[in-house]
Structure 1
């Protein structure tokens, strides 16, 4: 490849819509997968150390904000909702499987998952 053909390709990529398309696709990918990627990267900080790592568990899920109906319904899909734990921001979930516990810990809007005592 000659120097002039290399510069022609570079100019074509930088000056054309190909670069803008690639940046746009990367931005869309970041918006779609960014929240789940952030949840996956930070999941270990949400789960208390005393939660058993086998079998179904009973947990308390803590939020940092006032929950809305969406949050109540979402949390109910991971275990049996059994009321609040003293505060409107703390949910009791019973019979949460290990698979659901891992999925629950990847939600970025959850601040802490503790063992129900």
Structure 2
């Protein structure tokens, strides 16, 4: 039989940078005044170019945060069945990374 793993599968550093960094930048652009953005002013300008208003950026942030929460809850229930010893770890990792973490948990469930 395959030996049970005691740790989480971790995505690479680029997934961490993309997901956590992206949510942080989206939050900064949507809620922090331009005076305090510093080096993120260009990100805000790009966001406004694409989404056309601060309100749309805020809606995008709320939707993204909600999706991360839903994915984390799904990971909680899936991990209870697939990897019961690491349920909390899968929840928090999926909350932070979203799909990048959930994909690894789903892959673990297929084995």
Whichever structure has more strand as a proportion of its residues is 1
Q: Please give the TM-score of this superposition, normalised by the length of structure 2.
A: 0.26
Q: Please give the TM-score of this superposition, normalised by the length of structure 1.
A: 0.25
Whichever structure has more helix as a proportion of its residues is 2
Larger of the two Rg values belongs to structure? 1
